[in-house]
Structure 1
Amino acid sequence: MLFPNFEVIIPQIEENHGKDAIETVERLALLKAIDVFNRVENAVVIGADTVVEVEGTVLGKPKDHLDAKSQLERLAGRWHSVHTSVAVVSQGELWLKTRTTRVKFREIPQEIIEYYAANYSQGKAGSYGLQDFGATFVESVVGDPYVVIGMPIADLWEYFYKKGWWNSETKGTDVKGWF
């Protein structure tokens, strides 16, 4: 069975963002995976990070409700890029993949921005999630929508497949339904 004993472990790192979006997501994905790997024996650890970039400015997770509101106002009616890096760390091996997807927001009424910022934005890069009510803000997506969600699952599957960690036989024994 593929990864029969998995656990979500929150990394204990500071999520400091630099001015370069790609450098930021790659550094943070690696730091998250390495931090957890150093605390767990014999593990395969997956770490990921996502940032939004609009007009050269990197937007991470909002600090508070006002920051979330400001981020959503900045994105309304505009194109932006979403960058996600995923890192896999295991004994003697490290793998990193970074992807970018372009997203265009429609204009968003102020009361909807206020509502979303107050109820959904915390913990989300750019203050929105494509997997929830935030999807209604999106007019167009160019690229992999799973990059926007924060886990480019096809890239991760391809890595596992090439490593021989997933095949049609492991799929049949995956009782949790992960693969």
Structure 2
Amino acid sequence: MLILASGSPRRQELLHLITSDFSVFTSEVDERAITAPTAKELVQKLAQAKAAAVAATHPDAVVIGCDTVVDLDGEVLGKPADKDEARSMMQRLSGRKHFVHTGVCLISNGKEDCFVESSEVCFAALSEQEIEDYIATDEPYDKAGGYGIQGKAAKFCTGILGCYFNIMGLPVSALYRHLRIFGR
């Protein structure tokens, strides 16, 4: 049995690119209680905690835990709480490069395999009106960094170095290779 320890519809959609044979069980991990000195270490610890929480009740399954953050000059940009925070994030990302890191942890029968995939994203310089129009949509509020590359923010992206699917929240190719370790 393969379990995705995430309620994210985007991750479920992306995992379907690898297999349709999986279940979804979300973890009850308090993400605010987990800290780390770097964004990469943070996403790995979060992914590991989520996978471990679900694996504790499904020890024979292969459990996939994930977490994604936007890293702007070493500062983690999570999901914006409101329009002001979304506006601030978009202003800071405007005309800049940033990284998107996704931590992934696979756990089954006590065996654990964790990795972090990173992608670099370049944004065009955005006008205040573009920012206001974007934050008036529902898109920014459930996404790390306050934007969805697969949605209306696609028009702001001038370049990507790395995995596009990683920016959406699940590095499909890397996960496919790591699942082989577990015979999946």
For this structure pair, what is the TM-score category when the shorter chain's length is used for normalisation? Answer: 0.7 to 0.9
Q: Partners in 2 of 1:28 and 1:93 — Cα distance?
A: 17
| Structure 1 residue aligned with 2:22 | 6
SS where residue 115 of structure 1 aligns?
Answer: helix
How many residue pairs were aligned? Answer: 165
Following TM superposition, the consecutive aligned residue runs of length 4 or more in structure 1 with deviations greater than 4 angstroms are 1-5
Q: Which of 21, 34, 44 lines up with 2:52 in the alignment? A: 34
Q: Please give the residue correspondences for 1:46-65 in structure 2 after superposition, counting only pairs within 5 Å.
A: 46-65=64-83
Kindly provide the CA deviation profile for residues 38-59 of structure 1, in whole angstroms up to 9, marking residues without a partner as x: 2335321111111111122111
Report how far residue 105 of structure 1 moved.
0.3
| Structure 2 residue aligned with 1:100 | 118
Judging changes above 3 Å, is the alpha-carbon distance between structure 1 residues 53 and 123 closer, same or farther for their aligned structure 2 residues?
Answer: same
| Structure 2 residue aligned with 1:157 | 176
Contact kept in structure 1, 2:79 and 2:142, CA below 8 Å? yes
Q: Which of 143, 148, 165 lines up with 1:124 in the alignment? A: 143
Matched, 1:138 2:154: no
Unaligned runs of 5+ in 2: 3-18
Q: Partners in 2 of 1:18 and 1:126 — Cα distance?
A: 18
Greater Cα radius of gyration, structure 1 or 2: 1
Matched, 1:75 2:93: yes
Contact kept in structure 2, 1:80 and 1:102, CA below 8 Å? yes
Report how far residue 29 of structure 1 moved.
0.6
Q: Partners in 1 of 2:158 and 2:78 — Cα distance?
A: 21
Contact kept in structure 1, 2:44 and 2:116, CA below 8 Å? yes
TM-score (norm 2): 0.81
Q: Which amino acid counterpart does residue 183 of structure 2 have in structure 1?
A: G
Percent identical: 37
Report how far residue 4 of structure 1 moved.
6.6
Q: Partners in 2 of 1:31 and 1:112 — Cα distance?
A: 37
Q: CA RMSD in A?
A: 2.1
Unaligned runs of 5+ in 1: 166-179
Report how far residue 111 of structure 1 moved.
2.6
Contact kept in structure 1, 2:25 and 2:54, CA below 8 Å? yes
Judging changes above 3 Å, is the alpha-carbon distance between structure 1 residues 18 and 41 closer, same or farther for their aligned structure 2 residues?
Answer: closer
